[in-house]
Amino acid sequence: MHITVAAIQTSPRFGEVTANVEAALAAVPPGCDLAVLPELFSTGYQFRSRDEVRALAEPVPDGPTTTRLLAFAAERGTHVVAGLCERAGERLFNSAVLARPDGRSAVYRKVHLFWDEKDLFDPGDLAFAVHEAAGTRIGMLVCFDWMFPEAARALALAGATVLCHPSNLVLPLGPDAMVTRSIENRVFSVTANRVGREHRARAELSFIGLSQIVAPSGQRLARLGSNEPGVAVARIDLDEAGAPITPRNDVWADRRPEMYGVGGARS
């Protein structure tokens, strides 16, 4: 089975939520089955305080951004994964939402917070879950989750074939690491990053772009540059997910968990 996937690379203006949402959705190509938008695509990234986060955060699924994503998904028949600022009671999360054409949604809350995010957001409290979408099974990661192989592995073990990765990457290692995550888990990955700069807090941040779609083989099927908004699109063959490495080597059958000794805190 083949589906068309897209990574949407944007350059949002901080706090201009409606304009950011509409610009991102306008870039989604017609006929796309699954579109991935960047982390915090609707608000911008560099919050100055937790109070500022709270002022722009929205409930999921009843907030205006998720409502708009669901309406777009229904209108276009496209599944959309997008990063946004979520409010759940008094808690604030850097989240990703899945909007389906049938009106259902799902949310993932970023587990691995990066740098000053630790002062602004609550750490994610939902397990890495796999969701039916676009005729396959997808898992969601958010940006710095790329650093932790356990995150992608947990999703692959649960049956994900496509990793959707909304990002605001500033470290140059992230896109290359996602190539490795695709290879070692035999899955597709779709990283949607942003471009541009923000200097609203103590340090200026430059976002590296390089949004990409990667096959289980590690081949980059599509990749954008580092300076401009754009769209990376690929037609992917889902049968490639989980394919054996050689006729005698299967990444799952060859695992020997009893030998790994992993689990708790670093010694």
**Residues designated as active site:** 39, 110, 143
For residues 167 and 157, what is the distance between their CA atoms, to the nearest angstrom?
A: 22
Tokens found for residue 213: 């779609």
Sign of CA dihedral 242, 180, 138, 134: negative
Return left, alpha or beta for 40; rule: phi > 0 is left, psi -120 to 50 is alpha, else beta.
left
Which residues make Cβ contacts (< 8 Å) with residue 139, sequence separation at least 6? 128, 129, 130, 131, 152, 155, 156, 158, 160, 162, 163, 164
**Rounded to the nearest 5°, which phi and psi values hold at 137?**
-125, 125
Q: Are 232 and 224 a contacting pair, CB within 8 Å? A: yes
Residue 99: beta bridge partners? 80, 105
| Helices first, then strands: H and E counts in the chain | 6, 14
Which residues make Cβ contacts (< 8 Å) with residue 140, sequence separation at least 6? 81, 96, 98, 106, 108, 131, 163, 164, 165, 166
What's the gap between Cα 253 and its chain centre?
28
Could you tell me whether strands 2-9 and 230-237 are parallel, antiparallel, or unpaired per DSSP bridges?
A: antiparallel
